[in-house]
Amino acid sequence: MSYKSSNTIKTLIILLFIVLLILLYAGRLNETKSFNKSGIFMDTYVSIEIQGKEGEKALEACWKKLEDLSIKFDRFNSESEIYKINSNSGNWVKISNDTLDLLKKAIHFAKVSEDLFDP
């Protein structure tokens, strides 16, 4: 093998190695990060998985929304509006518009399901 062909082979190997490194690095740039969280809200197991650059931020926003809904609507939480309604039968209880909307929807679905859904 001549000196010239030996250098050509070495150059090709180095170029191939550089291209391989570039491809490996480029593949890592497109890796999708995954964020997940699990817990129990309103006596129900909840698991959320979000992928993407802003996944962690989105996951925290979702989790915060679940916590807020749980505070308002969890029938087992003595601070929730639903618990207060259930434990003050026959008495007036001040509720938020969100709870009023939820109750209206519950009544609607009870009617359209012919009471198969029992709020």
Alpha carbons 41 and 43: distance in angstroms, whole number:
5
Angle of helix 55-73 versus helix 97-112 axis, rounded to 10: 80
Interval 46-79: pLDDT, tens? 999 998 888 899 999 999 999 988 888 898 889 8
Q: What integer pLDDT is reported at residue 13 of this predicted model? A: 78
Q: So what's the pLDDT on residue 16? A: 78
Write out residues in the chain with pLDDT < 70, as ranges: 1-7, 10, 24-31
- Which DSSP helix (H) or strand (E) runs through 47? strand 44-51
Q: Which of 53, 58, 10 is nearest to 37 (CA)?
A: 58
Q: What does the longest C-alpha to C-alpha distance in the chain come to?
A: 101
Model-wide pTM > 0.85:
no
